[in-house]
Chain A
């Protein structure tokens, strides 16, 4: 398994003549979770898409470098708010999609193991429309794991789930993504506090690093220090940073 890649993004994002973000600096620590928290529409996903090498609607001028000097976009796995499961494929075929798209050798046994790991062993032959929202995100998580990349980019992957499924998925994702360098984009302070090793607040002015003064993630939902950190973050968000 490949692992242990830190990433640093620095630069400016332009949209036409307009400067969206100037002097951005974002660091993803190797094998840890970094969360990007901010209100909807502030540009969190734009940053994530820049890291993923996807079209972002903005022009980036700057550097995205990995600490080992190798290409970043070739070593990412991407998980979005929508599960993006292909409706014409079953769960296993969806999990093995990356291998199929790259024409590399398919590893059915590994796909089976990952599907078991996310708790979908009984649904391996089902199509996406036969699964609940939570199950679909589990399948998407298995597909992300199947990519076996050291960097994982999560774009609000749990935001469409109900509270219980979201909490379950946070715990599952944190467990199965151990050893990966993870960037989580979210607008939910509770989720950010629960999962972050490092946290950035994003506003129209740019990124501000935040410190969470509690134990390491994943943090208990009923831990008083975690709840206090969530409340403080929410107040900071409401004040417009």
Chain B
């Protein structure tokens, strides 16, 4: 019954999102008609749609590259983030030394690191995956660590009264109780990850949606640039929905 409610709510949200997008597209097209802005400055959604259809194969090819970068970065970044949170939870030394570095690292704009990553890792997938990992590592590590730290005291009392070892308390009590917090981090990561990949592609790449956008911009094919951007938005929405769905399945008990 609860899953039916969740499905119903998801459908309502999807309809709301669809209506909002259609409204934005209508306003966008009307603005283009009213202002008569030239298409090399701002193409209307109809022109962008046509560009998308005419270049579907090209956009798909570049889109698959970006998707690969994002998915690999997401898996590695999530794994590293979650392991770091676990390490900070079980080690006082890690808590003392890693946490301040983590917080400090957030003062460095990740975008500024992109040229260096390209220098060190080259123009291929590596530098984009590294950017993606860097951008999602902190939200995953910090949300999961917060979840691990804030296990309800009653659960810990119960585990202690049952003579659980610290390791088994971590595995069977703290980790499952922290999964909703980890899910919050993952939902953020799903939205941030494509940003990391595209920034990496802007700095230096020969493939990917970010590269295609720069290429189209340079050749004044603004409608193609917008079409690539729309493809990126669509991919991000899909990724966020899939990750959200997986998280809901794992944490169905959290309501």
Residues on A lying within 8 angstroms of B by beta carbon are: 49, 52-54, 74, 76-78, 80, 82, 84, 86-88, 97-98, 100-103, 127-129, 147
Contact = CB atoms under 8 A, between A and B. Distances in A.
Of A49, A84, A102, most buried by chain B (CB within 10 Å of CB) is A84
Given A101-B162, A101-B164, A102-B164, A80 B172 contact: no
A102 B168 CA distance: 8
Contacts of A77: 161
B176 A103 contact: no
Given A49-B157, A97-B162, 7 more contacts: A52-B161, A86-B176, A87-B253, A98-B162, A100-B172, A103-B168, A147-B162
Contacts of B154: 80, 82, 84
A71 to B, nearest CB: 11
A85 to B, nearest CB: 9
Interface residues of B, number: 22
A74 B164 CA distance: 11
A53 B164 CA distance: 13
B253 A101 contact: no
Contacts, number: 58
A80 B160 CA distance: 13
A129 B160 CA distance: 24
Which secondary structure characterizes the binding site on chain A? Answer: mixed
A80 B254 contact: no
Contacts of B131: none
A217 to B, nearest CB: 25
Which secondary structure characterizes the binding site on chain B? Answer: helix
Contacts of A49: 157
Interface of B: 2, 154-155, 157-165, 168-169, 172-173, 176-177, 179, 253-255
A101 B172 contact: yes
A80 B164 contact: no
A9 B155 CA distance: 26
A102 B163 contact: yes
Contact of A129 (B157, B163, B164, B253): B253
A77 B154 CA distance: 14
Contacts of A80: 154, 157-158
Contacts of A128: 253
Q: Which 9 A/B pairs are nearest by Cβ-Cβ distance?
A: A101-B164, A78-B161, A87-B253, A98-B162, A84-B154, A88-B176, A84-B158, A88-B253, A101-B162
Contacts of B253: 87-88, 127-129
Nearest to A90: B253
A8 to B, nearest CB: 20
A146 to B, nearest CB: 10
B176 A101 contact: no
Of B155, B168, B173, B253, most buried by chain A (CB within 10 Å of CB) is B253
Nearest to B164: A101
B158 to A, nearest CB: 5
A78 B173 contact: no
Contacts of A54: 157, 160-161
